[in-house]
Amino acid sequence: MMSPESILATLDPLALTSSSTPVRREQTLADTIRWRYQLLTDAEPALMRRMAAFPAGADIKHIDEVCRPREDLGLDLINGIGRLVEHSLIVSDDAHGAPRFRMLETIREFSVRRLDESPESDEIRNRHTATFLAFLESVNPHLEGPDPARWMDILEVENVNIQTAFDHAVATGDAEAAQRIVALAWRFWQTRGHLVAGAAAARAALALDGSPLIIRARAIDAAGSIAYWMGDSAMTRSHYEKAVTLRKEAGITDGLARALYNLSFPVSDEDGVEASAALLDEALALASDAGDRQLTVLLHMSLSRSWLRESPEQAIKHADDAIAGSDEDGDPITAAWALNLRGVAHHIAGNDRAATADIKHALGVFLSLGDLSGIAVQLTCLAEIARTTGDDESALFLVGGVKSLRGATGLGINTAIDDTLREFTPATNIAALCDHLVAAHDRGFAADLDEVTSVALAWEPPIG
């Protein structure tokens, strides 16, 4: 039996002699793949055909779960993969210290055709969807734990498989699977800059009927959160209100406290502190009854946000409570957002040095997590502090950097960037600024993320 390590040692990518024309080369390639496929014996062609279900390859565990070589084919998995490697029909990559096996694109196209022609095509693709839905279920609790960056990186590796699993669920009308994937994947999409794809997935999933109400409610929660991070306030409120109403009408308490917490954000922005506080009091009572400590911490964050304008001191107090609770729980993401809120409260209260320290601390955390949304918000806050303390050039440099990041990720929450620009010119027209400020903005827009965040972390408000 070949070990994964010995398989890695046999890798030799498909080598083809050159031909005089593209058509000849393509024909030579197709003939070579077909010839090597025909050299396979017993159940090996079936294993290769089934592995075509993975558009970006997979690790041993997922290959075993989808292809089931021993149960269905009487084939040892490691030996079967070894044979495919020997014939240069699959190659291996290393991801997070474990081998992943994938097909080169032309070979996969050949194998997909074989899978499509087989009577087992639907079954294999159903298994693929079930496997990556279970994978998302297993990873999701870790995203709010002590090492979320590691798990986000793992999700990034499997992002194409997750999208493929989702697409199959939608294509087959499997509302439950599609909506569960949206509910489980939205935080990853938000954090790693896949908001546009996430919004499209949420729309497609919610267009399907037939799922249990609690599954649909969770997908509506996710759709509201995606809309929030894209800056669509009307859609945010609509989804969050539906999520609360659906649960209350159906007598569903699962997730109701979190749904009320979500709804408090647009309500606070549009209706004020009192309306938001009523939702948060209801949510806090539910969270306390359920012993949900993590949600209690989040509710302190929402209270901090609600009090920012009317009482920065109250906002700081609630942010302190959220920081203490998230530090105790080992939750760096929540701690970083609480630091951001405390920093904004310090800025409103006129203490820009404390504000800058908190926001730079939060920026460092989000950089370590690879959280693009968090990074963009901290850069926005630092740009506003720079503007209000008279450092227009630094402010415009950071504004340019955030605008570039927003364009790449679909992030729309940073309306403060537009507000900052309006302070420089009512038409928010960069060209109306003086030349050195236009140049600062353009440098920020053209800079890579490392350069922009390095400038931000080094920046300090002027003394006095």
Identical fold, 4-118 and 212-291: no
Statement: 4-118 belongs to CATH 1.10.10.10? yes
Total Cβ atoms within 10 A of residue 252 = 15
State the pairing for strand pair 98-102/58-59.
antiparallel
C-alpha distances (whole Å) from 437 to each of 52, 404, 407, 434, 440 are: 53, 17, 21, 6, 5
The whole-number pLDDT of residue 16 equals 40
Angstrom CA distances, 277 to 4, 248, 313, stand at 56, 19, 16
pLDDT given at position 41: 83
d(CA 354, CA 345): 10
Cβ pair 133, 167 in contact under 8 A: no
Q: Which CATH class is domain 212-291?
A: mainly alpha
Flag residues of the chain having pLDDT under 50: 1-20, 23, 417, 421, 425-428
pLDDT on residue 445: 95
Give domain limits for the chain.
4-118, 121-197, 212-291, 351-464
The DSSP bridge partners found for residue 98 are: 95
**Helices marked H in 92-147:** 105-117, 121-139
Q: What is the pTM of this model?
A: 0.85
Check residue 419 and give its pLDDT.
55
For residue 458, what pLDDT is reported?
A: 98
